[in-house]
Amino acid sequence: MSNSTRCAACRFLRRRCRQDCVLAPYFPPTNPQRFAYVHKVFGASKITELLKQLPVHLRYDAAECMSIEAASRARDPVYGCVGVISQLQQQIIDVQSELVKIKGKLAVHNAQQQLQLEDGERASEQ
């Protein structure tokens, strides 16, 4: 790559972006903040090492996961993605509980409707 089209990683690290730069496909120059977050959490050498260890077809997903985790850590330094997952799990529990209550109320309503129908039928038979 030429110096003017360095990837976000090489630009951030202030180094020349080589033709075989392992970071270039995953950290394009159009999104420098993405690499900045990932670098802050994982460090450049760890990112490079992780990507080199993976088969090429899995590298995009790994870079995406690191990016999501790093952005989550920027918002919540203690829990990161785990905090979001915990919140979503709690929402699921709350909605399931509400669903059980609503199903109970619906069952009571249906039973009352059935009783009213039966009472109406008895009254009309007499």
b/e map of 49-82 (b: 16 or more CB within 10 Å)?
ebbeeeeeeebeeebeebbebbbbbeeeeeebbe
**Banded model confidence at residue 4, pLDDT cuts 50, 70, 90:** low
Average of per-residue pLDDT across 1-23: 84
What tokens were used for 101?
């209550």
Residue 1 in this model has a pLDDT that exceeds 60: no
Q: Which long-range contacts (CB under 8 A, 24 or more apart) does 108-112 make?
A: none
- Average pLDDT taken over every residue of the chain: 91
Question: What are the DSSP calls for 80-107, one per residue?
Answer: THHHHHHHHHHHHHHHHHHHHHHHHHHH
What tokens were used for 100?
């059980």
pLDDT tens-digit map of 16-66: 999 889 999 999 999 899 999 999 999 999 999 999 999 999 999 999 999
Q: CA-CA distance, 90 to 73, in Å (whole number)? A: 20
For 83, counting Cβ atoms within 10 Å of its Cβ (0-12 exposed, 13-18 middle, 19+ buried), the class is middle
Residue 118's pLDDT is what? 83
Residue 22's pLDDT is what? 93
Backbone angles phi, psi at 24, to 5 degrees: -55, -45
What are the structural domain ranges in the chain?
1-75, 80-125
**pTM for this predicted structure:** 0.67
